[in-house]
Amino acid sequence: MSSPLRLGIAGLGTVGAGVVKIVRQKAALLAERSGRPIEISTVSARSRGKDRGVNLGSYGWEDDPVALATRDDVDVFVELMGGEDGPAKAAVEAALSAGKDVVTANKALLAHHGQALAQLAEDKGAVLRFEAAVAGGIPVIKALTEGLAANDVTRVMGVMNGTCNYILTRMEDAGLSYDEAFAEADGLGYLEADPDLDVGGIDAGHKLSLLAAIAYGTQVDFGAVELEGIGRVSIEDIRQAGDMGYRIKLLGVSRLTGRGLEQSMAPCLVPATSPLGQLVGGTNMVVIEGDQVGQIVLRGAGAGEGPTASAVMGDVLDIARGTRLSTFGQPATSLKRATPAKATTPAAYYLRVGLMDKPGALAKIATVLGEAGVSINRMRQYDHAADTAPVLIVTHKTTRAALDEALAGMGATGVLSGDPVALRIEEV
């Protein structure tokens, strides 16, 4: 058997401890599958004395992850600290500069610095892999870079933040308010240290930007992702969308069109009976559409010790086997800079409008929609006791520009009793 592949692991939290457990508990399996033993030479974390539920006694220790990354007894640097800058970036750069292969689970780092790091890896003849950074245990990077490599990808979409899906599911199942469901997710330890990364859609936006780069052969452009979190999703919308046959999901959608690269991460409606509509709790789902393969649906655990460590180890085994793939599936120099485009692909929309309950109010709204060229597909007015009539409208496919014109027109009618809610309905 060949010489051992020696790992240096920086970060011994949820994911890092999971990786140590797999290396310790599955040594024989890993060696059989990769053709060489996988060993840990050195580890690093902030606090050396912390009990991590794993035996670290035989490994070397470095306080400084940058020093770890460049040690002679480290063949692969495994970055599991997190953070878009700081020690994670410094240590990954140091490892790549020293020609060492790197495996990371850090979507923030890759979303912000992916192009430069991929370029550095190639310049130094090193490999940079990040399967665990997107959708946890789902091998979606592998699917896109390898299994689907012969396809022109037409759309990538999905639910990529388990915390948001958990919150939306609990609002629907248990009738909890957003604040109550958020508190429950917090109590279960689901939220990132900065919860806005989850509920603001940022974490999921990072993941979408990485998938888009591979899918379309473009440079990662997280800054161009149109981002909206779930903070404004109300229990009324969840109930009334359900009544119309839909579920609300924090949905990422990317497409490369003639106008440029559309990347959007925002609450959307999907048919309740579709695979995305059926996705409940903290699970993730990624849907990929290719010109040859049609639609592929990948579903699984998007986070947690076992699933995320599984993805990290998949990358480590590839390196042990000698597989040397480019970070984004093609040489970094060949990745094009895409023109960012607003998501203007026509779609149906869900509108919830509170109308003053007086003669002609509904007619005014219908007229404004017609004048903007927005056609009504379905409409429902609910029985009501107060002076405000809740009206739901599902439009035919229209552009966002036409819808915005109609929303502005509605505001000028003087018959609204609050701001209308407009949510895109994604065809799946």
Closer residue to ligand NAP in complex, CB, 106/283? 106
Contacted by 14, from ligand NAP, ligand HSE, none: CB < 5 to 8 Å by type: ligand NAP
Please give the single-letter amino acid code of residue 217. Answer: G
CA–CA dist 77, 68 (Å, integer) = 8
Which of 309-335 are b and which e, b meaning 16 or more Cβ less than 10 Å from the residue's Cβ? bbbbbbbbbbbbeeeebbbbbbebeeb
Dihedral of alpha carbons 88, 94, 100, 101, sign: positive
Per CB under 6 A, 192 contacts ligand HSE: yes
Q: Which of 8, 18, 136, 229 binds ligand HSE (CB under 6 A)?
A: 136
Residue 161 sits in the site that holds ligand HSE (CB under 6 A): yes
- Distance CA(71)–CA(206), nearest Å, equals 30
125, 222 Cβ separation under 8 angstroms: no
**Longest C-alpha distance within the chain, in Å?**
84
User: Nearest to residue 37, comparing CAs of 316, 379, 383?
Assistant: 316
One of 158, 252, 302, 329 touching ligand HSE (CB under 6 A): 302
Residue placing its CB nearer to ligand HSE in the complex, 135 or 351: 135
Q: Which is nearer to ligand NAP, 282 or 354 (CB)?
A: 282
Cβ–Cβ under 8 Å, residues 92 and 77: yes
- How many residues sit in the footprint of ligand HSE (CB under 6 A)? 10
Considering only 159-167, 231-239, 355-363, 394-402, which stretch makes contact with ligand HSE by CB under 6 A?
Answer: 159-167
- The nearest distance, CB 361 to ligand HSE, in angstroms, is 42
200 binds ligand HSE (CB under 6 A): no
Residue 201: how many CB atoms within 10 A of its CB?
A: 28
Q: Which is the catalytic residue, given 124, 207, 336, 397?
A: 207
Q: Residue 242: which H helix or E strand, with range?
A: helix 235-243
Active site residue 207: yes
Pick from 62, 79, 101, 198: which binds ligand HSE (CB under 6 A)?
198
Name the residue nearer to ligand NAP (CB basis): 114 or 277: 114
Reduced to 3 states (helix: H, G, I; strand: E, B; else coil), residue 373 is coil
Classified as helix, coil or strand, 162 is: helix
Give residues in contact with ligand NAP (CB under 6 A).
10-16, 44-47, 50, 65, 80-82, 87, 105-107, 132-133, 136, 303-304, 308
Indicate which residues carry an active-site annotation. 207
Tell me which residues touch ligand HSE (CB under 6 A): 136, 161-163, 190, 192, 198, 203, 302-303
